[in-house]
Structure 1
Amino acid sequence: MNGWVTLALIALTVVLVLWRAGVSPHLWGVVVPIMVLGAVGYAMQGHATLPGRPAQANAATVVIDPSIVDLRGALLGRFSGDGAYLVASDALMRRGSRDSGAQVVLMGLGHYPRSLTLWVGLGTALAQHDNTVSPAARLAFDHATRIAPDHPAPPFFEGLAYVEAGDFRTAQRYWAKALALSPPEISYRREIAVRLYALNVVLAQRGY
């Protein structure tokens, strides 16, 4: 199938899900720019006119760190309706289905448009999909921050996306913010502090 046709079908699927779920216009104003940014990136790769073909799982597999999944549960809660979409996304990413891994989070947002969990998850999924903190991923993280400006999850996971992209200096700023937003008595504060300390050690070794 032609690449542009595949992209159009994906977009149509997302639109139908959002429409049938009765999503508010507020969410449309965020999802549509994300879809446009994704389409632009797709076109810039220069493969939009090539026939579609099955994904090569070995080339696209994402390593999902169990300790990060546990920390995500501590930060955002476990066994919730919106969290189930992230579990599904993780499973798809592990299999190398990056497109589907991002799409399932968008589907979840059709049901939970104000979910901090899913907006953070969308930023993560888009960064994993693109192998970088793309404009679309930043837009999703920014929206998560607007939903809960005093919650440490958005800066922590945006920082993690920068770590995975190799931009440790930018990651440091986000993790420092996440630690500052973590209450002293909360269980996950130590986990964030340990990761920030390790990151600072790496940066010091590199002369930063």
Structure 2
Amino acid sequence: MGWFIILIMALLVFASLWHFARLEKGPLQFVAAALLLALAGYAWQGRPNLEGAPRRMEVAEKQPDSPFMALRREMFGQFDSADRWLILSENYRRSGKTQDGAAIIRSALRAHPRNVTLWIGYGDALVAHGGGTLTPAAEFAFLRAAALAPKHPGPSLFYGIALAQSGDFVRAEQQWRRALALAPANASWRAELVRQLGMIDRARAAGQIR
């Protein structure tokens, strides 16, 4: 069908120029050569079987900062071996490239397999890549961090956040109470954690959580 249309259009152009413009033989031959050249180009690159709808470009959706991204330097410091890897990962993540963000931390863990911050960051990145779902791989990362630093509140705090995002408020409460017990008295996030636990208590009293 595409070839038929293009041939008809070429003949119409040629006939119109010959009838109305009354071109002489030389210019008319030039026009014919141009039309043939256009047809040759269409034969080479034309794809009439493709749909006419324009292709929609897939744009990665930008991601907001997670609680881990906001608090990690306060909880774990800035000048450790994990910081530069996490900065790079977070830049990818903010632009919507969550898979690349997680892959960067996975590469860092090969060189630093006992780094607690990287394990928490990896779990957090996997949750983001899963659209807020706590996948088995993300859960493993949080549990690995907890095993490496059992006296640090960070693993339990962020594991609890991931559980809450997935709708598991019972286990989230368990992790948050553990984090609260380990938290410094002056921690900036302590008041928010107490508020979240209070919301869980009220939901349980209302019969919304068992």
TM-score range, shorter chain: 0.5 to 0.7
Identity across matched positions, percent: 34
State the partner residue of 1:169: 170
State the partner residue of 1:182: 183
Deviations 1:111-134 (A, max 9, x none): 322111001111111121123111
1:158 aligns with 2:170: no
State the partner residue of 2:118: 118
Cα pair distance change 1:90/1:164, threshold 3 Å: farther
**Cα separation, 2, equivalents of 1:75 and 1:128:** 20
**Cα separation, 2, equivalents of 1:63 and 1:160:** 15
Contact 2:160–2:175, Cα closer than 8 Å, also in 1: yes
Instruction: Please show how residues 37-186 of structure 1 align to structure 2 within 5 Å.
Output: 56-58=59-61, 61-65=62-66, 68-131=68-131, 132-184=133-185, 186=187
**Cα separation, 1, equivalents of 2:202 and 2:79:** 35
- Which TM-score applies when normalising by structure 1? 0.63
Q: Which runs of 5+ in 2 are unaligned?
A: 1-56
**Cα separation, 1, equivalents of 2:76 and 2:128:** 19
Contact 2:68–2:124, Cα closer than 8 Å, also in 1: no
Contact 1:152–1:178, Cα closer than 8 Å, also in 2: yes
Contact 1:55–1:96, Cα closer than 8 Å, also in 2: no
- Which TM-score applies when normalising by structure 2? 0.62
**Cα separation, 2, equivalents of 1:137 and 1:102:** 10
**Cα separation, 2, equivalents of 1:207 and 1:73:** 35
**Cα separation, 1, equivalents of 2:58 and 2:179:** 35
Which of 1 and 2 has greater Rg?
2
Higher relative CO (CA 8 A, sep ≥ 6), structure 1 or 2?
1
**Cα separation, 2, equivalents of 1:112 and 1:190:** 32
Q: CA shift at 1:84, angstroms?
A: 2.1
Cα pair distance change 1:150/1:206, threshold 3 Å: same
**Cα separation, 2, equivalents of 1:163 and 1:121:** 17
